[in-house]
Amino acid sequence: MITSLSAGQTWDPVAYERNARFVADLGAPVVELLAPRPGEDVLDLGCGDGVLTERIAATGARVRGCDASVELIQAARARGLNVDWVDAHALPYSAEFDAVFSNAALHWMTRPAEVIAGVRRALRPGGRFVGEFGGFGNVAAVVTALIAVLDRRGMDGAAAKPWYNPTPEEYAVLEAHGLRVDEIRLIPRPTPLPTGMAGWLETFAEPFVRRLPEAERAAAIDEALHLLAPSLRDASGQWIADYVRLRFAARRA
């Protein structure tokens, strides 16, 4: 779920559970695409607090998780999971896994060539790489609003964006690193937010908000919510984020 050295972003497992449990809940189709088998070795790349890692382990696969957040690693270990504190841009594994799985994490890894090269090293011959993350157009309205809020305060809002959101054609960089793509596609997925846009911003927008003096942050969030309400809040008051996911399956030769 969450991962690797994302500049300016910290993770509170309690807030994540409250505001973003839907991330793991909506990851079930990616686990189905992985189709883990009993006895095989699987790496959960960007495992976060381990909810999906636990589900994969329940299939009988031997699962190791890795993440760059100390706090989320501790939450995963509290579930009894085997997890490593690792920067995904420098994976330390060599031909150890039959599959690498990743859900809602790769968009935090802004140097994809390094990540993919590490995944290939980690896989055994014939091993598969299956994942889903924010693709091109993901939370576009949210990003535009946050950029506007920073720009109005004399900052370069675009420079604050912490996410890598490629098109399928761009992520075909998989092939350049020895991974044959079996399938890849963008999936528009409007996503209801259980604690509204304020909860989402609390959990995910820190790289934008932390650029502001602390005294200005609450007003900036209120301004972003005002900008977003006409597009992302329905008539009943439900906030729906404009998610677009990139789902793929690839295999090492």
| Domain annotation covers residue 200 | no
Range of the domain at 61: 13-138+163-191+242-252
Tally the domains of the chain: 1
| Domain annotation covers residue 19 | yes
Judge whether 75 and 49 are in contact, CB under 8 Å: yes
What averages of pLDDT result for each successive group of 10 residues across the chain (253 residues)?
A: 50 71 82 97 96 95 96 93 96 98 96 97 98 98 97 94 96 95 97 95 91 95 98 98 98 93
Q: For residue 205, which phi and psi values (nearest 5 degrees)? A: -100, 10
Secondary structure of residue 101 in the 3-state scheme: strand
CATH number, domain of 181, equals 3.40.50.150
Beta bridge partners, 44, equal 65, 101
Which pairs with CB-CB distance under 8 Å and at least 24 residues apart come from 169-176? 170/136, 171/112, 171/135, 171/246, 171/248, 173/112, 173/113, 173/116, 174/116, 174/129, 174/248, 174/250, 176/113
| Domain annotation covers residue 218 | no
pLDDT at 103: 96
pLDDT at 4: 39
Rg over CA atoms, the chain: 18
Judge whether 150 and 156 are in contact, CB under 8 Å: yes
| Domain annotation covers residue 183 | yes
pLDDT at 20: 58
Judge whether 241 and 191 are in contact, CB under 8 Å: yes
pTM score, whole prediction: 0.91
